[in-house]
C-alpha cells in the first residue's frame, strides 16, 4: 500500500499560528521530517508514536542536502506511511516545497499541501508593522535575501523602488549591507524607514528600526541573530504606535512547563495569553494500571467507606474510567463523602458531576491529612485511589487519628520522560529559559533526570507548593513558591517575578 505525504507550513514559531488543518494532520503522522526553523511549540505537537527525522541543523546535526530530503520523503511514503514534511513558514514561499514534490509526482505518490503563515506577514504583525496601509503604500513585495557566496544579486532593485510598496526580504541578514546598497543605487530615499526583525513571535523577538542608509550600521551595533527578516517602507514608522507584544506582562520570557502531558495545556495557554513563549516539556507521564483488581475489590464494599479521597486530577480520571469500564453505576457512591487536595482535583471531580465535600485550606498532603482527620468521628474508613508512589504525609497524618482505617490503592504509575525533539539540557545551558514551572515533586525529579548534568543553580524554579520547592532545593535550584497550590497562583507568581525583573 502506498502512503501519502503532507507538506505542512509550521508558521514562524508561535504554535498558535499553526493552522487547524496542519495540527490535525500532524497528530496523525507516522513519520515527521522536520527542520530547524520549526518552533519548539510546534515540535511538541508531534505524536510520541511518530518516527522523527531531523533534516536541519538542530542540536549540532548537519543539514541534510535537499536531494536527500526528497528521497527520504519518497522512501517513507513507499512504505505505506503517513509522512509529514514539517517546514517553517509556508512550504511554497522560498521553502523549496516545489522541489520536494517533483520526485513524489514522478513516482505517483499522493500528496497534499497545507499552507502555513509566512513570516513575511506574521513577524511584522507581531512587531506592530502593517505591511500595507492605505496612507503609505498599496502593495507589498516579498523577496529572497539569500544569494550564493561570491555572486551578485539577480534582483532589479530599480523596479522594486519604483513600486513604492513595502519590501520584505527573507533570509537576508548576512547580505543586509548588499541589500541596502542595492536599494540606494536603485534610487530609494536614503531616509526611507527600514527595520530588521529578529526571531519574531518568540521570547527573543527584537526590532531594530533605522533608515535604509544606516540600517547595516545599526544592526551591527545592536547585534542581530537569525532567523530575521528585513522590512523596508514607511509602514516601519508605525511600529512604535502599533506595538502590542511588548506591552504584555510576560513578553520576552521563555518558560518551561513540566506538568504531566495530559495536564499541561491549561497552564501553558494561560502563560501564552500573557505573552510568554512556553515550552511544554512534560517531565512525567501517568499511566493507568491494567490490573485494577485491588480497586475493584474495594468498590464492591464501597458502602462501608465514609470518605473517598483524591490527591490528583489523574486519580479522579482513572477512578471513574475504571467504574465506566466495569459498568459500575455511579449511584453506588451516593453515601460516601469526597475530599480533594486542591483546585485542579476539584475541577476533575466536578467534570464527573460530583462536588467535593471537603478541600483543605492549604493544598498539600500534610494539611489535607490533618484537617480531614479532625473531621472524622469514631471509627471511619477512608479509601484513597492514587499513584503507586503517593503522598506519604497524607497517610502519616491520617494514621495519627485513632479509629481511622485508611486503604490506599495504587491505580496509576508515574513514568519519567524527556522530549525526543528538543534538547532540554542545551536550552538551559544556553540560558534560553527564564523560568521552569513545577507542579509536583515528581515533575522536579523527572526534569532532573531529563537534564542530568546541568548546573541546577542556574534554574529558576517556580513551585506549586512547599513539597515541590523542597525537591527543587535539594538540587540547588533558585526556588520560588506560590501562595496557593493552584495554577492561577503559580501564574500570578511567575508574572510578579517577571515584572520585578523589568524594573
Alpha-carbon dihedral 161, 163, 164, 166, rounded to 10 degrees: -90
Cell of 246: 511588548
Are 260 and 313 in the same domain? no
Same domain, 351 and 393: yes
Residue where a domain terminates, one of 368, 401, 416: 416
Q: Which range (51-60, 62-71, 224-233, 362-371) has the least confidence?
A: 51-60
**Residue 124 is placed in which grid cell?**
511584522
Mean per-residue pLDDT, 210-236: 96
* pLDDT at res. 352: 94
Closest CA to 420 of 81, 51, 72: 51
CATH of the domain at 59: 3.40.1010.10
Q: What is the pLDDT of residue 503?
A: 59
State residue 449's pLDDT score.
Answer: 86
Q: What is the tens place of the pLDDT at every residue in 34-50?
A: 988 899 899 989 988 99
Maximum average pLDDT range among 58-67, 192-201, 425-434: 192-201
Query: Which residues have CB under 8 Å from 285's CB, separation 6+?
Result: 260, 261, 414, 415, 417
**What pLDDT shows up at residue 444?**
92
CATH number, residue 380: 3.40.50.10090
Do 279 and 422 have their domain in common? yes
Residue finishing a domain among 376, 398, 416: 416
When pLDDT is cut at 50, 70 and 90, the band that residue 421 belongs to is: confident
DSSP string, 177-210: HHHHHHHHHTT--TT-EEEEEESTTSTT-EEEEE
Q: Which of 328, 205, 337, 346 is nearest to 276 (CA)?
A: 205
Q: Domain range holding 178?
A: 121-245
Q: Give me the helices (H) in 226-282, please.
A: 239-242, 264-273
pLDDT by residue (tens digit) across 171-207?
A: 889 899 999 999 999 999 999 999 999 999 999 999 9
As a whole number, the mean pLDDT across the chain is 91
Active site residue 247: no
Of the candidates 370, 317, 362, 322, the residue with the CA atom closest to the CA atom of residue 341: 362
Q: What is the pLDDT of residues 236-278, one digit of tens each?
A: 999 999 999 999 999 999 999 987 666 657 888 999 999 999 9
* pLDDT of residue 438 exceeding 70: yes
The active-site residue, picked from 14, 35, 40, 434, is: 35
Residues 211 and 311 both lie in one domain? no
Q: Do both 99 and 151 map to the same domain?
A: no
Residue 107 is predicted with a pLDDT of: 95
pLDDT at 60: 44
Does residue 227 have a cis bond before it (omega within 30 degrees)? Answer: yes
Q: Which of 105, 116, 99 is nearest to 77 (CA)?
A: 105
Catalytic residue among 4, 14, 21, 57: 57
Q: Percent of the chain scored above 70 by pLDDT? A: 96
Residue ranges of the alpha helices (H) in 304-389? 313-325, 343-350, 365-375
Instruction: Give the integer Cα–Cα distance in Å for 408 and 397.
Output: 14
304 and 270, same structural domain? no
Count of the separate structural domains present in the chain: 4
303, pLDDT greater than 50: yes
Q: Tell me the whole-structure pTM to 2 decimals.
A: 0.83
Q: Are residues 76 and 16 in the same domain?
A: yes
Does an H or E element contain 496, and which?
A: helix 487-502
Q: Are 128 and 153 in contact (CB under 8 A)?
A: no
Which CATH number covers residue 129?
Answer: 3.30.950.10
User: Distance between CA 125 and CA 243 in Å, rounded?
Assistant: 9
Residue 61 pLDDT > 60, yes or no?
A: no
Distance, CA of 237 to CA of 129 (rounded, Å):
8
Look at the block and give the residue holding cell 510568554.
Answer: 276
For residues 142 and 215, membership in a common domain is answered with yes
List, in sequence order, every residue forming a beta bridge with 314; answer none if it has no partner: none
Q: Three-state DSSP class for 407?
A: strand
pLDDT tens by residue, 98-113: 999 999 999 999 999 9
pLDDT, residue 148, reads 65
Do 268 and 357 lie in one domain? The reply is no
Domain boundary, last residue among 117, 132, 164: 117
pLDDT digit string, tens, across residues 440-489: 888 898 889 888 888 999 899 999 988 899 999 999 999 999 988 888 89
pLDDT(1) > 80: no
Question: Is 377 designated active site?
Answer: no
Tell me: do 238 and 138 sit in the same domain: yes
Percent share of the chain, pLDDT over 90 = 71
- Are 373 and 480 members of one domain? no
Q: Is the pLDDT of residue 59 over 50?
A: no
Res. 283: pLDDT tops 80:
no
Same domain, 92 and 186: no
Amino acid at each position: 500500500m502506498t502512503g501519502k505525504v503532507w507538506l505542512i507550513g509550521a508558521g514562524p514559531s508561535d504554535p498558535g499560528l499553526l493552522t487547524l488543518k496542519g495540527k490535525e494532520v500532524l497528530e496523525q503522522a507516522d513519520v515527521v521530517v522536520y527542520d530547524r526553523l520549526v518552533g519548539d511549540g510546534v515540535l511538541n505537537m508531534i505524536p510520541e508514536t511518530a518516527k522523527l527525522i531531523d533534516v536541519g541543523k538542530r542540536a549540532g546535526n548537519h543539514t541534510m542536502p535537499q536531494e536527500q530530503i526528497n528521497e527520504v520523503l519518497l522512501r517513507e511514503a513507499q512504505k505505506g506511511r503517513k509522512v509529514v514534511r514539517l517546514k517553517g513558514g509556508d512550504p511554497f514561499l522560498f521553502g523549496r516545497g516545489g522541489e520536494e514534490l517533483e520526485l513524489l509526482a514522478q513516482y505517483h505518490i499522493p500528496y497534499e499541501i497545507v499552507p502555513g503563515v509566512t513570516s513575511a506577514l506574521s513577524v511584522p504583525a507581531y512587531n506592530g508593522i502593517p505591511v500595507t496601509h492605505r496612507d503609505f503604500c498599496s502593495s507589498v513585495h516579498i523577496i529572497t535575501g539569500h544569494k550564493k557566496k561570491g555572486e551578485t544579486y539577480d534582483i532589479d532593485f530599480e523596479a522594486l523602488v519604483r513600486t513604492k510598496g513595502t519590501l520584505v526580504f527573507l533570509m537576508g541578514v548576512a547580505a543586509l549591507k548588499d541589500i541596502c546598497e542595492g536599494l540606494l543605487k536603485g534610487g530609494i530615499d536614503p531616509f526611507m524607514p527600514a527595520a530588521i526583525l529578529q526571531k519574531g513571535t518568540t521570547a527573543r523577538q527584537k526590532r531594530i528600526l533605522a533608515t535604509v542608509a544606516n540600517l547595516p550600521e545599526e544592526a551591527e551595533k545592536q547585534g542581530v541573530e537569525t532567523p530575521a527578516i528585513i522590512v523596508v517602507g514607511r509602514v516601519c514608522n508605525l511600529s512604535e504606535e502599533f506595538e502590542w507584544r511588548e506591552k504584555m506582562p510576560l513578553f520576552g520570557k521563555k518558560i518551561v512547563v513540566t506538568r504531566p502531558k495530559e495536564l499541561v495545556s491549561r497552564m501553558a495557554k494561560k502563560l501564552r495569553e500573557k505573552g510568554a513563549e512556553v515550552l511544554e516539556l512534560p517531565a512525567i507521564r501517568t499511566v493507568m494500571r491494567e490490573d485494577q483488581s485491588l480497586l475493584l475489590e474495594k468498590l464492591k464494599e464501597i458502602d462501608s467507606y465514609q470518605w473517598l479521597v483524591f490527591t490528583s486530577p489523574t486519580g479522579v480520571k482513572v477512578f471513574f474510567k475504571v467504574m465506566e469500564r466495569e459498568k459500575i453505576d455511579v449511584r453506588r457512591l451516593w453515601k460516601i463523602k469526597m475530599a480533594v487536595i486542591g483546585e485542579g482535583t476539584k475541577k476533575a471531580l466536578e467534570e464527573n458531576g460530583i462536588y467535593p465535600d471537603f478541600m483543605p485550606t492549604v493544598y498539600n498532603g500534610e494539611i489535607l491529612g490533618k484537617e480531614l482527620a479532625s473531621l472524622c468521628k469514631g471509627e471511619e474508613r477512608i479509601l484513597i485511589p492514587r499513584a503507586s508512589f503517593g503522598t506519604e504525609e497524607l497517610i502519616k497524618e491520617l494514621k495519627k487519628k485513632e479509629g481511622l482505617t485508611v486503604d490506599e490503592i495504587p491505580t496509576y504509575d508515574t513514568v519519567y520522560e524527556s522530549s525526543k525533539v528538543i534538547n532540554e539540557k542545551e536550552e538551559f545551558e544556553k540560558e534560553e529559559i527564564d523560568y521552569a514551572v513545577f507542579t509536583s515533586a515528581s515533575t522536579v525529579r523527572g526534569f532532573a533526570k531529563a537534564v542530568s548534568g546541568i548546573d541546577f543553580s542556574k534554574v529558576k524554579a517556580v513551585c506549586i507548593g512547599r513539597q515541590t520547592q523542597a525537591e527543587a532545593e535539594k538540587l540547588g535550584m533558585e526556588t520560588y513558591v506560590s501562595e496557593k497550590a493552584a495554577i492561577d497562583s503559580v501564574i500570578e507568581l511567575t508574572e510578579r517575578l517577571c515584572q520585578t525583573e523589568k524594573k
